[in-house]
Amino acid sequence: MPYYIDTLYYNHLGKKLPASALGYTPNGEGINFLPILLNVRYSDKGKNHLVGGKISKNGVLYLYDSLKEEMIETTLAKANRMYHNVYGLFMSVETGDYIFI
């Protein structure tokens, strides 16, 4: 199956996700989780890092950060405060319908 990454929000010059990007949740029949990636930075001098996770229908975010020992149960708003910078929010999509130009 082909997998793609869809950009929900990205601003490399920004510091945090805007309020309009904090409400993403899955919708649709039979869709219980939305798989996501966050582009984050831990400090001003830190390197960028992708953090994987999934958001439930009620807004609970389960983050799997390879630099942390345990899975983190949080929300997008709390993750936005937890990291020094949050540049982007991406969603993984399982489909073959994308057309590249």
Residue 14 has pLDDT above 80, yes or no: yes
pLDDT band, very low/low/confident/very high, at 5 (cuts 50, 70, 90): confident
This prediction's pTM: 0.80
What CA–CA distance (Å, rounded) separates 14 from 61? 22
95 confidence band (pLDDT: 50, 70, 90): low
33 has pLDDT over 50: yes
Question: What number is the average pLDDT over the span 27-55?
Answer: 87
What burial letters (b/e) apply to 56-85, b meaning 16+ CB within 10 Å?
Answer: eeeeebebebeeeeeebebebbebbebbeb
For residue 86, name the pLDDT band (cuts at 50, 70, 90).
very high
Which sequence spans correspond to the domains of the chain?
A: 3-94
